[in-house]
């Protein structure tokens, strides 16, 4: 497993993976040294993330290989279907997965998403439209949603 640390508008981003794909993309507020060299297995992910932050990319095409339970994988796959610039409530996501009563399990799986931004857990909001639950901090969730919203709006939240 190889790891690189890059700068992003939201803090230091950690990217880990190998020849089978990227397994972890996370954000940290800790002071980490930015990688001076990016391992070859991570270069495409780094490039695409930089394009996303520059407003030049809406989806990701590099190989991923996240670890999780079968249920978590199912939730993460559903998150990939939420279009750029759109949101979905935890309740609607639970309904989409076929079990409205699984809302807490869906929220838990969403919170354990190991591929920050790429699997867009930030696009899941409360039923009332509120920003709720985000491992990276609600201010980051707000930033990401505003970054993905057309510029003709002042602010979503």
| Model pTM score | 0.90
Tens place of pLDDT for every residue, the chain, 157 residues? 999 999 999 999 999 999 999 999 999 877 789 999 999 999 999 999 999 999 999 999 999 999 999 999 999 999 999 999 999 999 999 999 999 999 999 999 999 999 999 999 999 999 998 998 788 889 999 999 999 986 655 555 5
Domains and CATH numbers, the chain: 2-53 (3.30.160), 70-147 (1.10.10.10)
| 86, 124 Cβ separation under 8 angstroms | no
The Cα–Cα gap between 85 and 27 comes to 21
Q: Which of 121, 125, 144, 145 is catalytic?
A: 121
121 has catalytic annotation: yes
Q: 70-79 vs 103-111: helix axis angle to the nearest 10?
A: 80
């Amino acid at each position: 497993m190889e790891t690189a640390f890059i700068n992003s508008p939201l803090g230091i981003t950690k990217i880990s993976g190998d020849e089978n794909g990227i397994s972890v993309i996370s954000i940290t507020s800790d002071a980490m040294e930015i990688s001076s060299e990016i391992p070859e297995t991570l270069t495409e992910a780094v490039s695409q993330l930089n394009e996303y932050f520059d407003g030049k990319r809406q989806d990701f095409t590099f190989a991923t290989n996240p670890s999780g339970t079968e249920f978590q994988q199912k939730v993460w796959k559903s998150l990939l279907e939420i279009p750029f610039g759109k949101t979905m409530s935890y309740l609607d996501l639970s309904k989409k997965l076929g079990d409205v009563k699984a809302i807490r399990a869906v929220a838990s799986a969403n919170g354990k998403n190991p591929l920050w931004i790429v699997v867009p857990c930030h696009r899941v909001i409360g039923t009332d439209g509120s920003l709720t639950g985000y491992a990276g901090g609600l201010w980051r969730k707000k930033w990401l949603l505003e970054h993905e919203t057309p510029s003709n709006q002042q602010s979503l939240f």
